[in-house]
Structure 1
Amino acid sequence: MSPAQHHHRRELIANLRALAAFLDAHPLLPVPRYGPVRVSVHPLYDTDASTEAEAIAEVERIATLLGTTPTVQYGHHVASVALGSVHYQAVAITQAAMDRRAALESYRDVIALDAIEGA
């Protein structure tokens, strides 16, 4: 880990602790009631992985460190651990999955639904 990466890691951890302390000191502030809070790592952006294969391998490596097995669904490779309602996850999304999503979204502007009367 480079000195810059180490500094960023320490700063992120300190900021997470500061957020927890801030929320603890301000009990009138709402916090999410439903669903987890996620810390997501994306190997192509957050690690030294530079190819899709390296990003998938990084998710597998992280899964090993977490003591879990990565899930693979629809081109999403995910390793995660839940600490109550807080989740840490590493996610690699294949280019094929992103291309499928882009193709699906490409129809968005050409479909117009008729207004439902009384709605």
Structure 2
Amino acid sequence: MTLVSRREQRGVTLIGLLFWAVLIGAVALIGMKVFPTLNEYWTIQRTVNKVAQEGGTTVPEIRASFERQKQIEYSIESISGKDLEVTKENDRIVISFAYDKEIVLIEPVYLLIRYSGRSKP
């Protein structure tokens, strides 16, 4: 019978396993909380690009068009047509938006994400 010294033994300790479990769990929690807000941002960006390309001529028309698209896309809750900034660059309409999203991770810890975007000129 041969004895194996402690230096030759390899493996994961219980403390190491718990550390990795907590780390992976924390990353998964943050990912599950942040992904819906990213999805909403991407939907807003697509909607703003579509509204800018449709060619509304006045600011109220553009805002009304965004509100119509918002009713179709149920995932947009953070902004409305009033929050859009409409400008012109080189005779093309550019729509800009910005908003903050606050996410509760674990009470009293919050994550604040600031989103901003604009339509393609």
Give the structure-2-normalised TM-score: 0.30
The structure that has the greater radius of gyration is: 2
Q: Which has the higher strand share?
A: 2
